Structure 1
Amino acid sequence: MKRILVGYDGSENAERALDFAIELASKFSARLFVVEVIDLTLFYNTGILPPLEATKSLEERAKKDVKRAIEKAKSKGVNAEGITVEGDPANSILQFATDNQIDVIVIGSRGLSKVQRIFLGSVSNKIVQESKVPVVVVK
């Protein structure tokens, strides 16, 4: 295990996933990739372009999140780098994993109820179902 991806969005669950991924990367002397996806699919699915200010604000927040996560990983001695991408979160994470020969994906659980999962699905569920590499879902 040399390349670990953690899906990150600054949330409490993502923070737990980051902590787990840092520990895993440290244990295996692996490289950690922190990936935050800027999800504008709601706008695109409705045919409405997001306001430029909203897009810039989301990009700035994502870059700050990733920077903070990288600093945390590096403070623990982990070789880490981060990236922000725009798109559908699950698809973007899966594509990054494929493009970068990731060995394991670590993601936080969103904590949806059974009813919510039926209607909304979840990023973690889609990644678990479609990933070609092991996935760790941290609760």
Structure 2
Amino acid sequence: MKVLAPVDGSECSTRALRFAAEFARRFEASLHVVHVTDEETDATEAILQNAREILAEEDIDDDPELSTDVRLEFRPADRVGRDILDLVAERGYDHVVMGHESSGTVERAILGSAAETVLRSEEVAVTVVP
């Protein structure tokens, strides 16, 4: 089984990554971590470094990947969700584990949600960690 864990630096994303590590261990699955962004910044490196530290603590052999998408200008969360689905299709992931912070109705209507996009696609099994 191949598991994908997208990270964004949020607390729920960190919890999701720890859950994904335990999930992968229990089901003897491979785990791959990715951060999708429109540009690389200092925050990007901090997100990847945090993921590296968690993977090391959890004894998971993976180097988090950076996926840059310059199309994230409008409805970025929805675009991130579609990028995650593209990775699922291209690389044959069986399961996605990702965090999701609850937000207000207006914010969700304007920005969308990467987790909602992946979940509603019904293309892959998804575990959403709050």
TM-score bracket relative to the smaller structure: 0.7 to 0.9
Q: Which residue of 1 aligns with 2:12?
A: 13
Whether 2:93 is the aligned partner of 1:102: answer yes
Q: Which residue of 2 aligns with 1:120?
A: 111
Residue 62 (structure 2) pairs with residue 80 (structure 1) = yes
Q: Which has the larger radius of gyration?
A: 1
Choose which of 22, 45, 51 in structure 2 pairs with 1:63. Answer: 45
Separation in 2, partners of 1:109, 1:115: 16
Question: In the superposition, relative to structure 1, how do residues 71 and 29 fare at CA in structure 2: closer, same or farther (>3 Å)?
Answer: farther
Residue from 120, 124, 129 that aligns with 1:129? 120
How many equivalent residue pairs?
121
Please, which runs of 5 or more residues in structure 1 have no aligned partner? 41-54
Output the CA distance in 2 between the equivalents of 1:89 and 1:65.
Answer: 16
CA distance in 1 between counterparts of 2:44 and 2:22 reads 22
Query: Corresponding residue for 1:47?
Result: none
Answer whether contact 1:5 1:34 (CA < 8 A) is retained: yes
1:90 maps onto 2:86 in alignment: no
Q: Quick one: which amino acid aligns to residue 84 of structure 1? A: L
Distance apart, 1:116 and its partner CA: 3.1
Q: TM-score, normalised by structure 2?
A: 0.81
Measure how far apart 1:131 and its partner are.
4.3
Q: Distance in 2 between matches of 1:74 and 1:118?
A: 37
CA-atom RMSD, angstroms? 1.8
Secondary structure of 2:60's counterpart equals coil
C-alpha distance in 2, partners of 1:119/1:65? 25
In the alignment, is the contact (CA less than 8 A) between 1:110 and 1:122 conserved in 2? no
- Consecutive unaligned residues in structure 2, runs of 5 or more: 70-78
**Which structure shows the bigger proportion of residues in helix conformation?**
1
Structure 2 counterpart of 1:96, one-letter code: L
CA distance in 2, matches of 1:118, 1:65: 26
Matches within 5 A, 1:38-57: 38=37, 40=38, 55-56=39-40
